[in-house]
Amino acid sequence: MLSDSPLTELKGVGEALAKKLEKLGLHRVDDLLFLLPLRYEDRTQLIKIGSLQAGTRSLVTGEVLLAETAFRGRRNLLVRISDGSGQLTLRFFHFSRTQQAQFQPGAHITCFGEVRRGKNGFEIIHPEYRVLRKNQDATTSDSLTPIYPATEGVQQRRLRNLTDQALQQMSRAPPQELLPAATTEKLGMPSLADALAYLHRPPPDADVQQMLAGTHPCQQRLAFEELLAHYLSLRKVRALAASEGAVALREGNEDVGNFIDDLPFKLTAAQQRVVNDILNDLAEPHPMMRLIQGDVGSGKTVVAAIACLKAIACGVQAAIMAPTEILAEQHWRSFSDWFQPLGIEPAWLSGSQRVVARRESLAAIADGTAQLIVGTHALFQEGVDFHRLGLVVIDEQHRFGVHQRMALRDKGVAQGAHPHQLVMTATPIPRTLAMAAYADLDTSVIDELPPGRQPVTTIAIPESRRHEVVERVLSACAAGQQAYWVCPLIEESEVLDYQAAEASYAMLTEALPDLRIGLVHGRMRPAEKERGMKAFKEGLIQLLVATTVIEVGVDVPNASLMIIENAERMGLSQLHQLRGRVGRGAAQSHCVLLYKAPLGRIAKERLSVLRETNDGFIVAQRDLELRGPGELLGTRQTGLPEYRVANLIRDAALMPQVQITAEGLMRTSDVRVAAIVRRWLGDASRYGKV
């Protein structure tokens, strides 16, 4: 087949360019067809300056009113233009004398770029522009301009040329249609070749709004196939796991029963149900792959502990991995307390551990003296060899990626036996999204909070009334309660982050001289951090000033008041997680969201969602709508799939049909399944050896 030919067969592609293209995952001519435009630019119409909107990329024409250089930290060239309906500023940070000279007052120019709100009305920074000759009209394109994903040193023009050549080849040898005809017919979808041709070169009469929104049938055709590819790939991971061997954990029922009986509380019905799911899975000779969803405070840790105990009672090792040191330390402490009567002492492994201690842990992990291991992602790094790993628990899974999940799984493989895997998350997600993200896992939900919890009351207060909040902290602490003061998250700067925390700490120690106040931030040495947390947990400290390092999992039931500074800067799920640190005891808890006025629309919306509900499911749904699934699932940090055409929110409605199609294909055609996965995820599938 022509399309299977190497890229070097195309005109203008030598070894050097082929190398660069490889970085984009392009190896064959066929691959180019699936390098779809990231977006389209609409240069089909001129926008009146008076009706520009911030955040859009627009084509504008106008007459230069003035051009001047100004100093704002560095030299700027500012050009003001007008088209009679309004004025627009063009701002250049890099410019030559020649350029400067082009912008004579009275000259007509046309420009294109992202419109943003500046100090004096709308502006475009570094627009593409052209100076028009006398009586020359600004030209518009007659179709949408495709913009391809960028790679270093390959320009858009070049990518357009290459895709042109690939499209020509395609007309002679169209790529194989991999979707079952029944599916495309049912959904009324265009053929693959038609869809590809359309998306690479939208015709002049394309519905611009639909194309920009990503809802055109041709886009949906490809989104469907892409979602299908990801889904199939995860399902293959799962099928593979199901066919692998694991140690069936069937002993130790008595130990588990006694442990549950001796707990200081009674398991909720939901916890008991999930424990049963887990114990059933563990008894199978194939690895468990189970996800537990449960809102903050629903009591996931003890469920994990029961699973670990079961594994240990059956003579295999159990490991629990948490996303932060603070959380891992806390688990280590809870597990130490719970398991001490049974003579089980957890081993510790983290990145910041001293060499000697680490060496000791590694030895105990390798020779099996460590039955239970608690740690951070250091657990699945090089040089950690388990003796007989039978169960892996991953807490707050949304902080890790699929990769890490797979890596830890592969680690435990010994004598053909894979470890069982239990994954926990406090981010409940809508069903269609869960289908796409966790198709390799079985799911259990803890949909009930321990009894006696009172919902946290949440209020939002402008920063100008900070003194009232300080008073409130004082009276809560005077009444024997404890409080958290969470400091603003300053992205990109750990230094600013901790300085902000130190500043709040200084302010609070001065305002509240009689309180015992502690400070914890990410820059502290682990031992210091731990000392601070421990003192707070034991009640020696009444008010804990902290950065968002305490976000996940920290559990101090006597803390009933939480102040969150600059709440307007944080995401919904993050605020919900933070708020989940209070409301863990019997006392009525409060959360105060301090914000800097004025609030933007989205920030206002977020704060009001939190005031209205304590239900993590609703919070997640709203977060999804406001921010998108990447942020919600932690895609950003972890490399969960970045889709090329699909968008999980927009295309969620496709998921049920994706699922049906996938099940059908898996029953009937392994070859097709492999081809679809390869087409969209490449040879080296993201999810390991599928």
x/- letters, 570..599, toward ligand ADP (CB under 6 A): --------------x---------------
Residue type, 566: N
Q: Does 553 bind Mg ion (CB under 5 A)?
A: yes
Sign, CA dihedral 109-115-116-121, equals positive
- 689 makes contact, choosing from ligand ADP, Mg ion, none, with CB < 5 to 8 Å by partner type, with none
Q: Which of 364, 369, 304, 365 is nearest to 343 (CA)?
A: 369
Measured at CB, which residue is nearest to Mg ion? 553
State the CB neighbour count (10 A cutoff) for residue 100: 15
CA distances from 114 to 41, 88, 90 (A): 11, 12, 11
Site size for Mg ion, by CB under 5 A?
Answer: 1
Sign, CA dihedral 648-651-656-662, equals negative
CB of 209 vs ligand ADP, minimal distance in Å: 43
Q: How far apart are CA 368 and CA 363, in angstroms?
A: 8
Nearer to Mg ion, 306 or 655 (CB): 306
Residue type, 559: A
- 659 makes contact, choosing from ligand ADP, Mg ion, none, with CB < 5 to 8 Å by partner type, with none
Q: Which two tokens stand for residue 690?
A: 């599928």
- Angle of helix 572-579 relative to helix 601-612, nearest 10 degrees, comes to 30
Q: Does 271 bind ligand ADP (CB under 6 A)?
A: yes
Q: Does 346 bind Mg ion (CB under 5 A)?
A: no
- 571 makes contact, choosing from Mg ion, ligand ADP, none, with CB < 5 to 8 Å by partner type, with none
Nearer to ligand ADP, 449 or 662 (CB): 449
Residue type, 331: H
Nearer to ligand ADP, 334 or 669 (CB): 334
Place of tokens 């490399």: 639
CB of 447 vs ligand ADP, minimal distance in Å: 12
Q: Does 580 bind Mg ion (CB under 5 A)?
A: no
CB of 327 vs ligand ADP, minimal distance in Å: 9
Q: Does 297 bind ligand ADP (CB under 6 A)?
A: yes
Q: Side-chain half-sphere of 279: how many Cα atoms within 13 Å?
A: 20
CA distances from 191 to 67, 118, 188, 528 (A): 52, 46, 10, 62
Map the footprint of ligand ADP across residues 407-466, applying CB under 6 A.
426, 450
Stretch that binds ligand ADP, among 87-95, 263-271, 455-463, 498-506 (CB under 6 A): 263-271
Q: Does 180 bind ligand ADP (CB under 6 A)?
A: no
Cβ(449)–Cβ(420) below 8 Å: no
Residue type, 542: Q
Measured at CB, which residue is nearest to ligand ADP? 299
Q: How far apart are CA 327 and CA 325, in angstroms?
A: 5
Cβ(20)–Cβ(151) below 8 Å: yes
CA distances from 528 to 333, 509, 533, 548 (A): 16, 19, 9, 16
Map the footprint of ligand ADP across residues 56-115, applying CB under 6 A.
none
Burial of residue 403 (number of CB atoms within 10 Å: 0-12, 13-18, 19+) = middle
* Interacting residue with ligand ADP among 90, 241, 278, 296 (CB under 6 A): 296
State the CB neighbour count (10 A cutoff) for residue 357: 13
x/- letters, 510..549, toward Mg ion (CB under 5 A): ----------------------------------------
* Interacting residue with ligand ADP among 294, 412, 629, 634 (CB under 6 A): 294
CB of 573 vs ligand ADP, minimal distance in Å: 13
* Interacting residue with ligand ADP among 59, 247, 289, 302 (CB under 6 A): 302
Stretch that binds ligand ADP, among 90-98, 296-304, 309-317, 527-535 (CB under 6 A): 296-304
Site size for ligand ADP, by CB under 6 A?
Answer: 19
Binding residues for Mg ion, per CB under 5 A? 553
Residues near ligand ADP (CB under 6 A) are: 265-268, 271, 294, 296-302, 426, 450, 553, 555, 557, 584
